[in-house]
Amino acid sequence: MMLYIKRLSVGFATVVTCVSAQAIDLVTTGDTTLSIGGYIKAEGAFNSPDEGESEFKGNLRQSRINVKTTKSVDDKKLTGFIEGDFYGDYAKGGSNLRLRHAYVQVDDLTVGKTWNGQFLAVAPLSTEQLDFWGTGLGTASGGGSYIRPDLTLHYTYKGLRFTAQDPVYDNASLPDMVVSYKDKISNFDYNVAVTARDAENGDGSDVGIGVSLAGKLTLSKDSLHASIYNGKGMGAYSAICVGGPLVMNGGVDCDAEDGKLISQTGYSVGYKHQFTQKLRGNLRYGEVNVDDAADTSANVKSANLIYEYLPDLDLGIEWRNQDVTTFPWMPAGQQIEIMAKYDF
């Protein structure tokens, strides 16, 4: 199990922050700009598990730093980006610098270690959360081991995105692939995506297909968020598999039972309200149901308040409850997180 914990790249705090972050321009030489960005986040969590004793833990591991270069070459925009946080060797209690992103982008083509296609089809429309580990539970990108594959290729054309990424199954003959399309109708944003991958079935492999739909409806100061997905071979990305969560059942071949790929369905719903210019709040519910013999399921509930104390400095508190143990350090039960986060 430790191998898969090390491979997990699931850390992402608030979805909005992760998809698009600000930066500080440091140097501009000719048509090349070097900038630095990231944030410092201090968090404390009160854990009240369904079984065992309550505890409090605090850390700054989620803090991250990135460097970005941009330049124009023959009328093409060339971007290089690299980012790390301090969750390296976390399974053993360490806080080493860990590579999160390292990619090159030329206009609409991106190649490197970065978000997978499932994440980009859901996350920009999701509810804001403080939870680092289980933010996407209930979606097609629920925090599986390949949220940021070692190698990913994205090509976008208007609202269409084609993705080929390092496959979850080591003996796969083709990359895992995602095709998504995003658009907007009035104040309703949506994204539909199809995933195809070679998934292990115990003795060999089968082709797994999944479909997801995410949407966000903006209503003045409020917004409604929802997503749904269904398909086979989706557990390695949704993080809930045959028999339970991916990390807890010990392998990425967790999409099969009796030699056959098993289907699963997940959904999430959320609501955001802007109380004042500085205070906002979010409610969210996510659930996954696997069509296996044990009728495996998982759900998570959360509610938070986030206050902009100063520009780029947020204070927040979040309550959440999950009905299954998703990581050894995230047992079934309730958790209250308090945090302070400074973006730069």
Segment 120-134, tens digit of pLDDT: 999 999 999 999 887
Percent residues over pLDDT 70 in the chain = 92
Rounded Cα–Cα distance for residues 258 and 231 (Å): 17
Name the residue type at position 325: T
Owner of token pair 């968020």: 225
Take residue 18 and report the two structure tokens written for it: 């992760």
β-bridge partners, 241: 244
Closest CA relative to residue 317, chosen from 332, 296, 289, 339: 339
Confidence of residue 10 (pLDDT cuts 50, 70, 90): very low
Rounded Cα–Cα distance for residues 239 and 236 (Å): 5
3-class DSSP assignment, residue 278: coil
Contacts of 111 (CB under 8 A, 6+ apart): 103, 104, 105, 151, 152, 153, 154
Please check the confidence at residue 7 and state whether its pLDDT lies above 80: no
H helix runs in 99-173, sequence order = 117-122
Backbone phi, psi, residue 53, to 5°: -95, 150
Which pLDDT does position 13 carry in this prediction?
Answer: 36
Owner of token pair 């927040």: 316
Q: CB of 15 within 8 A of CB of 130?
A: no
Confidence of residue 251 (pLDDT cuts 50, 70, 90): low
**Cα angle vertex 225, ends 224, 230, to 5°?**
145
Which pLDDT does position 157 carry in this prediction?
Answer: 96
Rounded Cα–Cα distance for residues 158 and 132 (Å): 31
The number of CA neighbours under 13 Å toward the Cβ of 302 is 34
Q: CB of 343 within 8 A of CB of 22?
A: yes
Backbone phi, psi, residue 178, to 5°: -135, 130
Confidence of residue 135 (pLDDT cuts 50, 70, 90): confident
The per-residue pLDDT of the chain, averaged, comes to 90
3-class DSSP assignment, residue 69: strand
Extended strands (E) in 258-296: 260-261, 263-274, 279-290
Q: CB of 9 within 8 A of CB of 145?
A: yes
Which pLDDT does position 14 carry in this prediction?
Answer: 37
Percent residues over pLDDT 90 in the chain = 78
Confidence of residue 3 (pLDDT cuts 50, 70, 90): very low
Which pLDDT does position 252 carry in this prediction?
Answer: 63
Which pLDDT does position 68 carry in this prediction?
Answer: 96
Q: Of the given ranges (9-23, 27-41, 77-91, 247-261), which has the lowest mean pLDDT?
A: 9-23
Please check the confidence at residue 19 and state whether its pLDDT lies above 50: no
Which pLDDT does position 144 carry in this prediction?
Answer: 67
Extended strands (E) in 169-204: 176-185, 188-200
Which pLDDT does position 134 carry in this prediction?
Answer: 76
Alpha-carbon Rg for the chain in angstroms: 20
Q: CB of 121 within 8 A of CB of 136?
A: no
Contacts of 282 (CB under 8 A, 6+ apart): 127, 128, 129, 270, 271, 272, 273, 302, 303, 304, 306
Take residue 119 and report the two structure tokens written for it: 């994440």
User: From residue 287, how far is each of 139, 162, 232, 238, 338 by CA, in Å?
Assistant: 8, 27, 16, 10, 24
Take residue 162 and report the two structure tokens written for it: 């084609």
Which pLDDT does position 189 carry in this prediction?
Answer: 98
In terms of phi and psi (left: phi > 0; alpha: psi -120 to 50; beta: otherwise), the region of 193 is beta
Which pLDDT does position 4 carry in this prediction?
Answer: 36
For 189-246, write each residue's pLDDT tens digit.
999 999 999 999 988 899 999 999 999 999 998 999 999 999 999 999 999 999 999 8
Contacts of 223 (CB under 8 A, 6+ apart): 216, 217, 271, 272
Please check the confidence at residue 297 and state whether its pLDDT lies above 80: yes
